[in-house]
Structure 1
Amino acid sequence: MTNDSAAIAAAKRAAMKVAIQHASITIKVICLTLFATTVWGSTSPQSAFVYPDYREAREVYQQARKALKQKKVSRYQKLRADLDNYPLAPYLDVLFLRSQFTRNTSNSAFDDLHNRVNQWITENSTNYLTPTLRNHWLNYLAVEGHWEEFTHYYIKEEATESNRCFAAGHHIRTLTNTKSSLSDEAWLPVTALWLSPRSVSKTCDSVFARWKKSGQLTPAVAWQRYQLALNAGQHTLAKYLRSYLSKDDASLSLKLASPKRYTAFWFDAFSSNIDTLAINSNLTSDSIKRVITRLLPDHGEHLRPVLMQATIPGLTPAHHTRSVRLAAWYLLKDNPDSASDWLDDVEHQTPDVTTFQLRTAIVSKNWGRYQWLYQQASTDLQQLPEWRYWYARAQRNTGLVAQKIEERPRAIFEQLAKERHFWGFITAEAAKQAYPVGQADELTHPPSEAVVQAIMPAIELHILKRPLTSENEWTHATRDFTPAELKQAARAASHFNMHDKAFRALAGAQAWDALEQRFPLMYMEHFTKHSEKHALNPFWLLAMARQESAFSPHAQSSVGARGVLQLMPATARKVARSLQVPYSRERLSDPAYNIALGSRYLKDLLKTFDNNYVLATAAYNAGPHRVKRWLEDQPMTEDWVHWVSTIPYKETRKYVTNILTYSLIYQTRARNAEFNLADFVPPADSGLPES
């Protein structure tokens, strides 16, 4: 770095530090206002609406659950008598009924229990808990041998796997009592249960034993399940199933499991007889796609000619499209021009393929090709903000402008600069205009009694820190809401800090201008503290939390990330060690602890990537190692916006643009103008194209 560059960078860091201090002061003032009004800078009627106060009933409910768990029935019944109007009373009723499902009851006791269960199911037919109670009841009826009642209550679409097994077994026994032998058709429900990509409930063992004994487990059926298991990643089950395969299928199963070991076989199959192989061997589309996916990285030259065909026997159009895109991506890394030419020759053209072609033209900066592709694209694709932005940029770069005035760069940029999204913000900043955040649309209508009654169970479960059940209750309650009702539900959810549900409800209602509910200020004491401590843009931290967890402290991803900033336990442990604070996985659901560790990790990422917020954001989503690899393939220049559009992962591209957009919306909502998009990258990389 030259002396001049170093001086510019130092000046910018100093300015950033001052900006962070000013932003923190602004946020503190707003937080005081929030504390007084309960809504962001507003005295909206929301604060005047009074929600039911269930604090006393909530305590009684928890005591009743405890009494039921301790089998203190008389105490439970006394407590339950005071909870008729409490939203979670049905949960107690179901738990109590289930506690009565005891073995070897007398006829009179069973009749009484049957009447009570039937009454509850009838009176609560639309309740979220009804399918759960029904399934527990069915299980009890099957174990006790009450098959007439089982048949009456059985609903296949709602039944658990165990109950479907019970039903299939009863079906076979009923037929066996009337016939000496059963047809293949009679066994179809059992076959359908057995054809699972994963291990099946042990409840099915007895009916499966009869099914096998009757000769239904043929090599062809075993081959179907082998492919299902293999494609689902259930390798132990797949290996077990090989013993039931025919000799030819067993041989093919090895080639399916390890395509790279048998490349010659697959090259021959794809070049000459994939149709024969797919038909004669009953290869599924998932299996063919699996082979293609594993061979493409190292052997694309053998597969690309096959993928150019309009159709491939055995491969669905969706799988074909995915394979074409993957093939083009691997080719693009080595030779962008060849990738473009190859895609032009592919007969299997879909909007997804066109999208990929547009992306490859951006990566290679082939602006003439981009213009041509954009002009050939569907109207729906042409209207997407990113493609419009790059079409205007492409015209500027080539000097070849569109004939229609409204399609020329100036017209496109002027329109984009009015729209609230990343591409609009980029355009507005380049034109030195205010960010087009727009006017907030306050949700002024209080929730109706019917809406509050429907969502209150989910709210109470949220307060009791039962996030999964709360999520399921919310989804059930709002499934048929109108847009107006969704807005009301979102307002209530925001009031109770259930922001993930508020965001989803507002999206369902397409209430994009409800900015107070869509961009709430949460945990500001912690965000302000750590933004000052680590010299971080506080609005960036807010945006990260909104994107990662919707501010839910109990959020947990499918891969195990936890809390407000969705920290992986291994990462959290490492950061805790560096901060010399005790590590606790359980405390990751504590916002203060999670934000303290997450803020420090984000600061570490910024150091790794030379204070480049764009790269640090991408690394938080995809991992630092991937970002470093992407930079080797596509270095970030002053035109950092171009680098964002070339991020290989669609999820990460969307993540980065979301974070930058949310950051600016937050600072605009906070009436703070300390930061702009150029501040998210170091001086050498912060150039924005003129619009």
Structure 2
Amino acid sequence: MIYHYRSFEVSMRFVVLLILFLLQTSFVFAASQTPTKKSSASLTPLQQQRAWYAAAEKALAKKQTQEFQRLVSKLGNYPLKPYLEYKALVAQLVTMPRDKVDKFLFNYPNSLLASRLTQQWLRQIAVKKQWGIYIHYYDSRFADTELTCWYLEARLATQDDTALDSVASLWNQGKSLPPGCDNLIASWKKNGRMTKELIWQRFTKSVDAGNSSLASFLANQLPGTERSYALAYQQIYANPALLKTSNKFKQQNIYMSEVVLRGITQQAKNNAAKALQYFNNYSLTHRFSAEQSKTTVTELASQLLKQKHPKDATQLVSTHSEVNDITLLDNLLRYALSQQDWERVNAWLQRYPEELKQQDKWRYWMARTMEALEIHDYLGETSTNIYTQLSANRSFYGFISAIKLNQPFGVVDRPVEMDKLQWASIESQPGLLRAREFFLTANKNSAHQEWFFTIKNLPKEEIIHAAHLANKWGNHLLTIQTLSAAQYYDELTLRFPIQFETLIDTAAEQTQVDKRFIISVIRQESVFTEDIKSPANAYGLMQLLPSTAQQTAKRYKIKYQQSDLIKAEKNIPLGSRFLKDLLASFNGNHILTAAAYNAGPGRVRQWQKLSEGKLPFDIWVEIIPFNETRQYVQNVLAFKVIYAYRLGLPQEMLSEMELKELL
């Protein structure tokens, strides 16, 4: 995931946790919302509707049409009623009259079900080759290759030959196309649009994608000479060591260049140093295009860095000024920072595209570089000017800029107030009502689909209102994800909730671990989702592994069983004591402790050995090898400042000792 430096959005691990949460756990709503078996006389109106809904589903499955219609007629405005109508229409899709489709689309416009029904309806229309009708119902937002192929075929059938202009990009991919594309591709080929150059491009993509059957098929479509290069490409892909015999690859043309370069990048995956030798040797005998060199150098340098050859990677990219891959530049920048080679840091910073030079991260390191190299002016700015501007931002780099200037932290908080009309409007959104009913009846996957399909069609202001609605329901994960969808990050009450405060206060008092630190770890680990479980088998608010929890419980003589980990009253005491142990292990340093909580203390000690206690804290954090851990540490430290603001406590990211300590 790309880290949003202003917003402190969740890490990739957190996104995985979100998905698992939606599939595995219950959202926090009022108790006893799920229907239970009661006599009809004791059911609430909503519970009665749920019972009728379930009975209608059974009647439809048994093809009891009259009973189904009777039950549907009793549902009134029950939020999930459209799902029954949808299922009934799908059951008769082959013979369904067009007016029934139109009625459903009219009744439920811009809905998830309308989108699903339209796509299924289009498949039936395509089979019947009713192309005029197909064009009428097609929506370019449908992310379905087969539907797109039929749409282009429909345009061709209605005398729109410009449809052929869109086929090449659709066809030129490494995976096989669905059967519905066959007629379109045949027409496109008959029109002379399938050139040997395009066939070659798709052939290389299919080899790279591991689609050997498609690759073989395409190779046989090439003329004889090009077919021999295709064979060489497949051979070099499987065995890049063939590059040792250079006379086999001495021809000078674009096809052979691609064969050689694919062999080099394949070799780089296992032995980047050897691949670099091949690249240097073949560069003397072959004339590679600028784009070919750029792509190959990027892949080769990336592998050199992964395989611990940073000097070779630095030298290689330094001699190829056209290389500007952001991930590669980030890694080269980190290596230069680890060496405190400020001239090289400056060189890499200058290669970033202009739009990234406006980000807090780039501006912070530019200011640090200016200080180190005694550059007093860069494009009309001094380092102090840059720090001053950054210090107003609610970000990790903004906060450490404020620390450098001894200025207050820029904790921007712009809550959105909603009036009664706005509440009434968002609470009556049909898609959100359906999502809520799915949440309440423990159908998390459908709830998630309805919610996000609905909000993507709302204006920004209403998406923010939807976040308030999710917060009202007590669903902090959904709240934060919805604010992210709105790209609104200044609603701190919603983005940084305060839950389980009494338990956190008790844990902080008993362990002497900073309350701000504990609550920041919980926010980063689980967003206060009590019963969440990660793919790594970590549980609960502080995402404890059972083995860690067991060791901690034994150490502190706390009664424990694994099922306790999804209970706040057990998870927080155990997690806070584990934090206490880590802090003691790392001499009270919150940077190292946060890194160890995420990546493990063993890895952090390895990183300490590499840095040899020579690096300022900001550089040490920036060069953490794991993207997730680097992001994690930056988040937790920044959250500590934000939660201090939310709790009315002194705002401190790090102690004076931590700021001065070399790591």
Class of the TM-score when normalised by the shorter of the 2 chains: 0.5 to 0.7
State the partner residue of 2:16.
Answer: none
CA distance in 1, matches of 2:394, 2:120: 49
Aligned to 1:512, the other structure's residue is in SS state: coil
Specify whether residues 122 and 262 from structure 1 end up closer, same or farther in structure 2 by C-alpha distance, changes over 3 A only.
farther
Cα separation, partners in 2 of 1:417 and 1:192, compared to 1, 3 Å: closer
Judging changes above 3 Å, is the alpha-carbon distance between structure 1 residues 383 and 603 closer, same or farther for their aligned structure 2 residues?
same
Q: Supply the distance in 1 between the matched residues of 2:354 and 2:257 (Cα, whole angstroms).
A: 42
| 1:90 equivalent in structure 2 | 82
8 Å Cα contact 1:278-1:314 kept in structure 2: no
Distance in 2 (alpha carbons) for counterparts of 1:645 and 1:542: 23
Distance 1:387 1:129, change over 3 A: same
Task: String of CA shifts for 1:181-223, please: whole Å, max 9, x gaps.
Answer: xxxx9999999988764566688999999999xxx99999987
8 Å contact 1:459–1:470 — kept in the other structure? yes
1:436 equivalent in alignment to 2:416 = no
Rounded Cα–Cα distance in structure 1 between residues aligned with 2:70 and 2:166 = 46
Q: Which structure 2 residues correspond to residues 200-219 of structure 1 after superposition, within 5 A? A: none
Given the two structures, how large is their TM-score scaled by the length of structure 2? 0.68
CA deviation vs aligned residue, 1:370-392 (integer Å, no higher than 9, x gap) = 46766897765554333443444
- Residue 516 of structure 1 and its aligned partner are, at CA, apart by 0.6
- Residue 492 of structure 1 and its aligned partner are, at CA, apart by 1.9
Q: TM-score, normalised by structure 1?
A: 0.65
Structure 1 CA distance for aligned equivalents of residues 166 and 567 of structure 2: 49
Residue in structure 2 matching 1:385, options 336, 360, 363: 360
Conserved 8 A contact 2:520-2:640: yes
CA shift for structure 1 position 156 = 7.8
Identity of aligned residues (%): 23
2:138 to 129, 134, 155: 155
The answer to whether the Cα contact below 8 Å between 1:544 and 1:659 also exists between their aligned partners in 2 is yes
- Using the TM superposition, name which of 59-68 and 384-393 deviates more: 59-68
Alignment of 1:265-664 (within 5 A): 276=252, 278-279=254-255, 296=272, 298-303=274-279, 312-313=288-289, 315=291, 319=295, 322-323=298-299, 326=302, 329=305, 334=309, 336=311, 342-350=316-324, 352=326, 358-370=333-345, 383-397=358-372, 400=374, 402-403=376-377, 407-429=381-403, 434-445=408-419, 447=422, 449-454=424-429, 455-507=432-484, 509=486, 511-522=488-499, 537-547=514-524, 550=527, 572=545, 574=547, 592=568, 599=575, 603=579, 606=582, 610=586, 613-618=590-595, 627=604, 630-637=607-614, 639-664=616-641
How far 1:644 sits from its partner (Å)? Answer: 0.8
Measure, in 1, the Cα distance between the counterparts of 2:569 and 2:89: 41
- Report if the CA contact (8 A) 1:226-1:242 is conserved: yes
Aligned to 1:12: none
Amino acid at match of 1:677: L
Q: Distance in 2 between matches of 1:526 and 1:61?
A: 41
Correspondent of 2:72 among 80, 90, 101: 80
Aligned to 2:233: 252
1:228 is paired with a residue whose SS is helix
For the structure 1 residues 322 and 54, does the alpha-carbon distance in structure 2 shift closer, same or farther, using more than 3 Å as the test? farther
Contact 2:539 2:545 in 1 (8 A): no
Cα 1:221–1:582, aligned 2, differ >3 Å: closer, same or farther? farther
What stretches of structure 1 of length at least 5 have no aligned partner? 1-34, 36-52, 103-109, 176-184
Deviation string 1:509-567 (CA, Å, 9 cap, x unpaired) is: 5543321112112455776677778775554454345445555679898x787876696
Q: Which runs of 5+ in 2 are unaligned?
A: 1-28, 30-44, 554-558
- Kindly provide the amino acid, as one letter, of the partner of residue 254 in structure 1: Q
- 1:548–1:565 Cα contact (<8 Å) kept: yes
SS in 1 for 2:494: helix
Matched with 2:117 is 133
Listed one character per residue, the Cα deviations across residues 270-296 of structure 1 (whole Å, up to 9, x for unaligned) are xx76xx464368769999866655553
Q: Distance in 1 between matches of 2:378 and 2:315?
A: 28
Quick one: distance in 1 between partners of 2:499 and 2:247? 56
Corresponding residue number in structure 2 for 1:687: 660
Out of 463-472 and 219-228, give the one that drifted further: 219-228
Q: 1-side partners of 2:290 and 2:255: how far apart? A: 7
Q: Which residue of 2 aligns with 1:262?
A: 242
Tell me how far apart the structure 2 counterparts of residues 613 and 287 of structure 1 sit (CA, whole Å): 46
Residues 348 and 648 of structure 1: CA distance in aligned 2, closer, same or farther (over 3 Å): farther
Instruction: Tell me by how many angstroms 1:348 deviates.
Output: 0.6
Provide the rounded CA distance (Å) in 1 between the counterparts of 2:620 and 2:201. 44
Shift of 1:670: 1.1
Q: Give the 3 Å change call, closer, same or farther, for CA 416–115 of structure 1 in structure 2.
A: closer
- Please tell me whether the aligned partners of residues 249 and 281 of structure 1 are also in contact (alpha carbons under 8 angstroms): no
Between the aligned partners of 2:477 and 2:456, the Cα distance in structure 1 is 16
Deviation per CA, 1:549-593, whole angstroms, max 9, x where unpaired? 555679898x787876696xxx95655776797768xx99x6759
Measure the CA separation in 1 of the matches of 2:530 and 2:542: 9
With over 3 angstroms needed to count, the CA separation of the structure-2 counterparts of 1:204 and 1:341, relative to structure 1, is closer
Which shows bigger deviation, 421-430 or 163-172?
A: 163-172
